[in-house]
């Protein structure tokens, strides 16, 4: 089991909690579309098997157009040989798409989010990496097994500290920013990803577009129809 959350709001503060504003929720939805550089400390815990606990440093670049780079740094826990550290870095490099898009808490669609989650302002503030943040608590309306405590920059909507706990209150993960730069130098960053919004294909590009029909389908799947829109 991981250490008790040191910066998380106390239970008594929940009594003074209030719904967050629609504006803050909208900023959280679009926060990943802002250019930024972050250094983070990532703590991942397994309450049932502390031998699997993992703590490491991480760097994140975003260009504001859907491009990103996530690079693992030093592993602080557990101790690793140089070969194990090199393997970990290679694996995390291959997983950067998952890390950026799915590992961390994100508001992807405000309306859908409001239907599935309750989110309240705990009326407590903290300074994370020099940035004033408000603390929020998030719970899934249909699954009480995990809840979140988030420190959010009220100006940008970025989550600068995330704590995930299980239904017993055991810490599952803490991902906290230690350095932030809203005007990052991306000249040496090798970015992955792509445009953050779909772009229409028209003109010559549309005429040259070839859609391939799959010829080998997994078991249980079959092709029903194909269609082309103009």
pLDDT in tens, 168-183: 999 999 999 999 999 9
Q: State residue 194's pLDDT score.
A: 62
Give the DSSP per-residue string, 131-151.
EEEEEEEEEESS-TTEEEEEE
Report how many helices (DSSP H) and strands (DSSP E) the chain contains, helices first: 5, 10
Q: What are the tens digits of pLDDT across the range 34-88?
A: 999 999 999 999 999 999 999 999 999 999 988 999 999 999 999 999 999 999 9
Q: State residue 200's pLDDT score.
A: 65
Does the pTM surpass 0.85? The reply is no
Q: What are the tens digits of pLDDT across the range 135-174?
A: 999 999 999 999 999 999 999 999 999 999 999 999 999 9
Specify the residue for token string 């780079």: 69
**Residues 3/171, Cβ–Cβ less than 8 Å:** yes
Which is more confidently placed, 128 or 221?
128
Structure tokens at 76: 């602080």
CB-neighbour burial class of residue 190 (10 A; exposed 0-12, middle 13-18, buried 19+): exposed
């Amino acid at each position: 089991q991981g250490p008790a959350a040191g910066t998380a709001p106390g239970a008594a503060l929940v009594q003074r909690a209030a719904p967050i504003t629609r504006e803050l929720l909208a900023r959280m939805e679009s926060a990943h579309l802002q250019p930024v550089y972050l250094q983070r400390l990532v703590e991942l815990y397994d309450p049932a098997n502390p031998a699997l606990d993992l703590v490491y440093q991480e760097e994140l670049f975003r260009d504001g157009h859907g491009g990103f780079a996530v690079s693992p740094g030093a592993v602080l826990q557990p101790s690793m040989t140089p070969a194990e550290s090199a393997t970990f870095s290679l694996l995390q490099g291959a997983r950067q798409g998952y890390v950026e898009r799915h590992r961390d808490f994100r508001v992807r669609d405000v309306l859908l989010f409001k239907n599935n989650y309750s989110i309240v302002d705990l009326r407590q503030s903290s300074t994370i990496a020099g940035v004033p943040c408000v603390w929020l608590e998030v719970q899934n309306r249909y699954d009480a097994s995990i809840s979140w405590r988030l420190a959010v920059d009220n100006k940008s909507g970025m989550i600068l500290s995330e704590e995930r706990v299980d239904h017993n209150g055991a810490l599952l993960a803490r991902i906290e920013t230690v350095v932030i730069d809203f005007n990052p130098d991306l000249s040496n960053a090798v970015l992955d990803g792509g445009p953050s919004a779909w772009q229409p294909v028209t003109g010559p590009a549309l005429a040259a577009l070839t859609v391939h029909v799959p010829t080998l389908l997994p078991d249980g799947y079959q092709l029903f129809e194909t269609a082309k829109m103009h």
